[in-house]
Amino acid sequence: MPSQLKPASEWRRLLIKVSGEALMGDGAHGISQKTLQRISSEIVEVVRSGCEVGLVIGGGNFLRGANHMLTAVDRVAGDQMGMLATVMNAVAVAAQLRALGTEAVVLSAIDVPVICDRFTHRGALKHMAEGRVVLFAAGTGHPFFTTDTAASLRAVEMGCDALLKGTNVDGVYTADPKSDPNATRYETVTHQEALEKNLGVMDAAAIALARDNGLPIVVFSIKDEGALPLVARGEGVSTIVCD
CATH number at residue 140: 3.40.1160.10
CA 162, 57, 178, 75 dihedral sign is negative
Predicted confidence at residue 3, as pLDDT, reads: 41
Residue 130 lies in a domain: yes
Report yes or no on 124 lying in a domain: yes
Taking Cα atoms as reference points, which of 165, 158, 167 lies closest to residue 133?
Answer: 158
Local confidence band at 4 (pLDDT 50, 70, 90 cut-offs):
low
Is 34 buried (19+), middle (13-18) or exposed (0-12) by CB count in 10 A?
exposed
In a domain, 211, yes or no: yes
User: For the segment 79-135, what is each residue's pLDDT rounded down to a tens digit?
Assistant: 999 999 999 999 999 999 999 999 999 999 999 999 999 999 999 999 999 999 999
Tally of domains in the chain = 1
pTM metric for this prediction: 0.94
Domain of 218 in residue numbering reads as 12-241
Structural domain contains residue 195: yes
pLDDT band at 20, cuts 50/70/90?
very high
Q: Which are the contacts of 236, defined by CB distance < 8 A and separation ≥ 6?
A: 220, 226, 227, 230
State pLDDT tens for residues 150-176.
Answer: 999 999 999 999 999 999 999 999 988
| CA dist., res. 180 & res. 96, Å (int) | 37
Kindly state whether residue 3 falls inside one of the protein's structural domains. no
**Structural domain includes residue 203:** yes
